[in-house]
Amino acid sequence: MALITCPECNNGVSSEVTACPACGSPVPKGPGGVVTTQRTAKKYKATKAVAVCGMLAGLALLWFGINGQMPITVATCVLAVAFVLYVYAEAAAWWNHG
Ligand SMILES: [Zn+2]
């Protein structure tokens, strides 16, 4: 464990942490964009999570649609958008790793 200087507030920060505890600025981890890679992966995971939630919501709406409480086209649209979003997140994550 080494002590490095925060680029924002010049506070002494442990190299083990990812952000300065004093000002919250991201701490550089030496060569290589480790932080960037993690942030990107998280972005796609978040997109995927939203897409899965959307698909579940779409399925729920489809259930209401089948029971005649809602136009079935609404459910189909939500389901289609969520599915496209999921495929996009999957493809983007794959593209980023490959
Ligand atoms: Zn700082």
Query: pLDDT tens digits for 44-75?
Result: 888 999 999 999 999 999 898 888 887 889 88
- The verdict on 21 and 67 lying in the same domain is no
51 with 14, same domain: the answer is no
pLDDT digits (tens, 9 = 90+) for 6-22: 888 998 888 888 888 88
Range of the domain at 48: 31-97
Q: Which residues surround ligand 1, an ion (CB under 5 A)?
A: 6, 8-9, 11, 20, 22-23, 25
In angstroms, rounded to a whole number, what is the distance separating the alpha carbons of residues 45 and 40?
A: 9
* Strand ranges inside 1-98, DSSP E: 3-5, 12-14
CA 54 to CA 86: how far, in whole Å? 9
26 CA distance to ligand 1 middle (Å): 8
Is 11 found in the same domain as 21?
Answer: yes
Q: Report the pLDDT value the prediction gives residue 57, as an integer from 0 to 100.
A: 94
42 or 34, greater pLDDT:
42
Q: Do residue 56 and residue 81 come from a single domain?
A: yes
Q: Does 79 lie in the same domain as 59? A: yes
Summary mean pLDDT of the chain: 84
pLDDT attached to residue 33: 43
- Whether residues 19 and 43 share a domain: the answer is no
* Counted domains in the chain: 2
